[in-house]
Amino acid sequence: MAKEEKKESPPFEEKQVKVELSRELRNLFTMSAIHPEGIRQLSEALTHSSYANEMGGEIPNNERLELLGDSVIELIVREYLFRRFPLHAEGKITQIKVNMVNTYALARVAKHIGLNDALLLGRGEKTSGGKRKPSILAQAFEALSGAIYLSCGLEKTTRFVLAAMDEEITRWARQKESLDVKGRLQKHIQKEHNVIPHYVTRDYDEGLFISIVYGGDEVLGSGMGRTKKEAEKRGAYEALKRLGVTKRRDKRRAGNGERKGGAPYDPRYRKPDEQGKPAPDGGEEVSPRKDAQTKKRRTKWSRKKK
């Protein structure tokens, strides 16, 4: 009787498991002109190591693709920021990139496109809430981006990544614009007058800087502050005020304030003494707003005591 020949175990590529894709993910593939069937390592990208271990290590997990996808996403986001913010220095672009491409941001993206439902997890990882863990979700999105890059190239991967991160990018952009008075001024001036505002900042007095904001050759506003950055923000606020496009929060964000009678805010303002006279140079430094708030609190406290 002839001995039965041992069949060789098939390679990883033949042991890929079927994955269920969410409607959001399929729509995203369609928008990016990507066919899921054309992504050769799709199931590998969605296979966590815990699932692969339960299958006896006979199928690949997504750790290698995660390593590649991490670099691909960073390249795409860096190029996007480089083109969107042509005036930002390298350090500023890096700071923005860190806020947009971190574990928690990528986990939100993965959940938004339904990757949590498509993930293949081991029983132990699944029962411990693995589909909600930011590290696992971020890893899956990076691995999927790496798989798309290998099968479809950089152009389609860029479309996919930016479309998937659209909500995160919009959210960050709104937050940034709401906090940055200088950014709002630049956006308005560029849109209305097609020029970029610039700042001339110099020492004004001991411990104080003054910044003058120009739009072309025209002076738009000026501001004072203890640092150059503070002076520029206050100058930007004054420019927005002059142009009539300020918002209620701009004054707070720029740190502006006014003394009684409309006198300009001086950050070196010193708290008056009990007779209402300005304190000597060695007196306590406090902003007019803080001084008024303190007096208000004391008045309320006095009333309660009586």
Instruction: Report, as residue numbers or ranges, the catalytic residues.
Output: 70, 142
Amino acid at 279: A
Using the 8-state DSSP alphabet, how is residue 48 labeled? -
- The CA distance from 122 to 134, in Å, is 17
The pair of structure tokens assigned to 278 is: 């300005």
Residue in this structure with the two tokens 């290998």, named with its chain if needed: 150
Q: What is the rounded CA–CA span in Å between residue 119 and residue 133?
A: 12
CA of residue 15 relative to chain centroid, distance: 39
Residue from 229, 197, 224, 200 nearest 212 by CA: 200
* Distance (Å) of CA 272 to CA 253, 278, 296, 298: 26, 4, 15, 16
